[in-house]
Copies of this chain bind each other. A is one copy, B any other.
Amino acid sequence: MNSEISIHINKIAALLNENNIDAILVGSNANIYYTALCFFRGYTYITKEGLFRFFIIRNNPAFKNPNIVNIRKPEEITSKLEELGLSVPAVLGLEFDSLSFSDITRLEKAFPSSTFVNSSPVLRKARMTKTEWEINEMRYDGVHQTEAYRHFTKVYKEDMTDVEFQIELERILRLEGCLGYSRVSGNLMEINLGSVLNGDNADTPSPYEFAMGGSGVSSAVPGGANGTEMKPGTTVMVDMNGAFNGYQTDLTRVWKIGEISQLAEKAHECSRRILRTLEKEGTPGVPCSALYEKAMEIAREEGLEEYFMGHNKKVAFIGHGVGIELNEMPVLTPRSKDVLAENMTLAIEPKFVIPGVGAVGVENTYVVRDNGLENITVLNEEIINLIR
């Protein structure tokens, strides 16, 4: 574990050097986990030379490391640095994008001689490609998430509502070891154990920035299942939580209630064709925008553009990085400047919303490898009929 921590620290240190940042003080939950592989309350301090200390206010008893320094509040950090013989940094990186304005200004006051830069981009970049250890963590997630999905068909009962169905899926996932908590970046996503979308609810826009919408059962948390009965001729898109450790995978499969329209079946096959194509073309060096354009081209070629990535409301991405957080870098959008690199982990989700039927399409989590994308969420991709 400590050697894996060193790899993460060294990756960050190299990026600090590149960006002329003397040191970084990490305080957001996801980045604490990235730097310590344990969650605690406090801060991880890393210099561009690769020195690091964990300044801990409230520890996790599971976390043991020779670099722990106990503090009561962040104002003690500079004097502790001096005691440790470490210089106070001239340029200190802080997570402007994930800590609150009050938290950042408090930290700035605690370092009166430093100047500050936003270190969120450095941390996003460090986390964008994964180590083999991290990929194995995600492989574990993929194995358990797909295993849970295999049991979803059997809990369906006629006349069930989408929420009732989702509740049984949640139970299966939890019994399989799903932690039931998913870290997401930013306040534009609020989610519990995932999304189940049946029929036209898939065509209801949501204020959140997920690929798909749904009205939810309350206007307080307006996303996902809405509590209506699942009717014959509709689809059920299941995009549920894959967090079984500090990392997570992202996986979508579709079920149907009886037979559905040819158009919906065709769109589902188109999603699979897009994935097969991107799996081949997604090699290091390919721009993220090219994957988006290729997916869009295939959808257009099949006359399905109108339904692609939403119908009433569309989103302008077909996938995203995934790891400690559900939504990481890169994002597969037409405007992305990122380029695929080996060991990036991507959730790719070409989805269609067919009016009167619902959402179709497949989402897998992939690792970018030399020869293309490696699927770490291998599972039957066909639409399974819930009525046997």
A residues bordering B, Cβ < 8 Å?
28-29, 33, 37-42, 58-63, 94, 96-105, 118, 120, 163-164, 167-168, 170-171, 174-175, 177, 179-181, 183, 187-188, 190-193, 204-209, 215-222, 245-246
Contact = CB atoms under 8 A, between A and B. Distances in A.
A219 B63 contact: yes
Chain A binding site: helix, strand, loop or mixed by DSSP?
A: loop
A69 to B, nearest CB: 15
Nearest to A164: B175
Contacts of A183: 190
B215 A62 contact: yes
B222 A39 contact: yes
Given A191-B181, A205-B61, A222 B38 contact: yes
Contact of A171 (B62, B171, B191): B171
How many copies of the shown chain assemble into the complex?
Answer: 2
Contacts of A222: 38-39, 60, 62
Given A180-B192, A207-B59, A97 B97 contact: no
Contact of A181 (B33, B42, B221): B221
B220 A179 contact: yes
A167 B167 CA distance: 10
Given A62-B219, A98-B100, A220-B246, A181 B190 contact: yes
Nearest to A216: B179
B192 A218 contact: no
Nearest to A207: B41
A317 to B, nearest CB: 14
A204 B61 contact: yes
Interface core residue of A59, A61, A96, A163 (most chain B CB under 10 Å)? A61
A275 to B, nearest CB: 27
A85 to B, nearest CB: 28
A168 B33 CA distance: 29
Given A38-B220, A62-B219, A246-B220, A181 B192 contact: yes
A221 B33 CA distance: 9
Contacts of A245: 218, 220
6 contacts: A60-B207, A97-B102, A101-B104, A170-B170, A192-B192, A219-B246
A312 to B, nearest CB: 9
Contacts of A175: 164, 167
Given A41-B188, A164-B175, 13 more contacts: A28-B187, A37-B219, A38-B222, A39-B220, A96-B102, A99-B187, A102-B118, A163-B174, A167-B175, A171-B171, A179-B217, A179-B218, A180-B193
Given A60-B219, A190-B29, A120 B102 contact: yes
